[in-house]
């Protein structure tokens, strides 16, 4: 059974590809390399193409029995400044992918959604039934695709899993792949960078939130745990299970200060930092209620914050050390 991993030369897709292979699936990668890297696809067959190149995509889909769709633009701030870019890639490109899947007879789609579909939640931890009210174009583009999947399920019998990630972090334990976004906006690689001589000091956005230490709280999930949930979701659909939308997080939040402490403990070096004002649109706390994913898939995140930070540190040292 071959799984087409669209966006497979990116951070999360390249981890999913490896976990799929460990579970015995054949894997075909499809990526336009706009933010991905051919090096992360090493050891896999990679078709270089855009999701809007539907002829090329259809050929790849005809060789596959299911698709995982990771391809998207994913910077919240950029989506506010340039929504057109986000709607073009995440919505128009997403629909091109979905329609090509229908036309080629693919009926199982796993989609990279995000906790950004909830916007600023009234309650934490966040359950899947919380209202979906995104507060930026990135979140809106992801919600649109979720809605399209729901409509295609009813109308055409397409089965999907919308997996709403919280904060993906860490790296594959083998060292074959890891995070290399440019620009990097994620806390853990930035804090690790700030513990090295080459990296910029870490900007901490707000120290006066209504949290125990005043800094924002997020739910960091190891990327390999995330990838394992994709395989479980795929097996659920292939086994005849109905479409699902699930939060993927650990259910435990960590503050920015706690992350800095973990980074300092693991690297043995101080994190140079600057405390600045809050960033508009950042909720004080975003933490998943992951119980539905455990109930439906029998999946639970296993890796701790320390494992996240240490695998990310090994990856950084190996690649930029």
Ligand X SMILES: NC(=O)c1ccc[n+]([C@@H]2O[C@H](COP(=O)([O-])OP(=O)(O)OC[C@H]3O[C@@H](n4cnc5c(N)ncnc54)[C@H](O)[C@@H]3O)[C@@H](O)[C@H]2O)c1
Q: In angstroms, rounded to a whole number, what is the distance separating the alpha carbons of residues 65 and 281? A: 39
Binding status of residue 12 toward ligand X by CB under 6 A: yes
Residues 77-116 that bind ligand X (CB under 6 A): 89, 93, 112, 114
Task: Please tell me the count of residues contacting ligand X according to CB under 6 A.
Answer: 26
Residues 248-287 that bind ligand X (CB under 6 A): none
Query: DSSP code of 48?
Result: E
Residue 97 backbone phi and psi in degrees, to 5: -65, -45
Active site residue 30: no
Q: How far is the CB of 105 from ligand X (least distance, A)?
A: 21
Q: In angstroms, rounded to a whole number, what is the distance separating the alpha carbons of residues 245 and 237? A: 12
Which residue of 74, 202, 237, 245 would you call a contact of ligand X, by CB under 6 A? 74
Binding status of residue 178 toward ligand X by CB under 6 A: no
Q: In angstroms, rounded to a whole number, what is the distance separating the alpha carbons of residues 192 and 186? A: 10
Q: Cβ neighbours of residue 261 under 8 Å, at least 6 residues apart?
A: none
User: Between residues 232 and 272, which has the closer beta carbon with respect to ligand X?
Assistant: 232
Q: In angstroms, rounded to a whole number, what is the distance separating the alpha carbons of residues 25 and 2? A: 6
Pattern 111-150, binding to ligand X, x per CB under 6 A? -x-x------------------------------------
CB atoms inside a 10 Å sphere around CB 245: 19
Binding status of residue 36 toward ligand X by CB under 6 A: yes
Q: Which of 156, 136, 26 is nearest to 85 (CA)?
A: 136
User: Between residues 43 and 270, which has the closer beta carbon with respect to ligand X?
Assistant: 43
- State the residues that interact with ligand X by CB under 6 A: 7, 9-13, 31-36, 50-51, 70-72, 74, 89, 93, 112, 114, 165, 167-168, 181
């Amino acid at each position: 059974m071959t799984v087409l991993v669209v966006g497979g030369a990116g951070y999360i897709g390249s981890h999913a590809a490896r976990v799929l292979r460990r579970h015995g699936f054949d894997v075909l990668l499809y990526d336009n390399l706009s933010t991905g890297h051919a090096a992360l696809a090493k050891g896999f067959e990679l078709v270089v193409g855009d999701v809007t190149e539907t002829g090329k995509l259809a050929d790849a889909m005809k060789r596959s029995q299911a698709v995982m769709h990771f391809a998207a633009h994913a910077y919240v701030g950029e989506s506010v400044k340039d929504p057109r870019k986000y709607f073009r890639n995440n919505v128009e490109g997403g629909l091109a992918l979905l329609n090509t899947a229908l036309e080629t007879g693919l009926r199982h789609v796993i989609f990279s959604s995000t906790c950004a579909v909830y916007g600023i939640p009234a309650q934490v931890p966040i359950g899947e039934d919380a209202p979906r009210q995104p507060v930026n174009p990135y979140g809106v583009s992801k919600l649109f695709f979720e809605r399209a999947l729901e409509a295609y399920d009813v109308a055409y019998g397409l089965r999907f899993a919308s997996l709403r990630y919280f904060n993906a972090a860490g790296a594959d334990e083998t060292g074959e792949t890891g995070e290399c976004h440019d620009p990097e906006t994620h806390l853990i690689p930035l804090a690790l960078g700030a513990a090295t001589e080459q990296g910029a000091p870490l900007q901490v956005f707000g120290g006066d939130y209504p949290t125990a230490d005043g800094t924002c709280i997020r739910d960091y999930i190891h990327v390999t745990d995330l990838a394992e949930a994709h395989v479980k979701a795929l097996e659920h659909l292939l086994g005849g299970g109905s479409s699902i939308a699930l939060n993927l997080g650990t259910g435990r939040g960590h503050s920015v200060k706690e992350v800095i402490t973990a980074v300092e403990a693991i690297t043995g070096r101080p994190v140079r930092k600057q405390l600045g004002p809050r960033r508009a649109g950042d909720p004080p706390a975003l933490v998943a209620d992951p119980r539905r994913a455990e109930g439906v898939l029998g999946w639970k995140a296993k890796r701790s914050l320390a494992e996240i930070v240490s695998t990310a540190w090994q990856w950084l040292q190996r690649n930029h050390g």
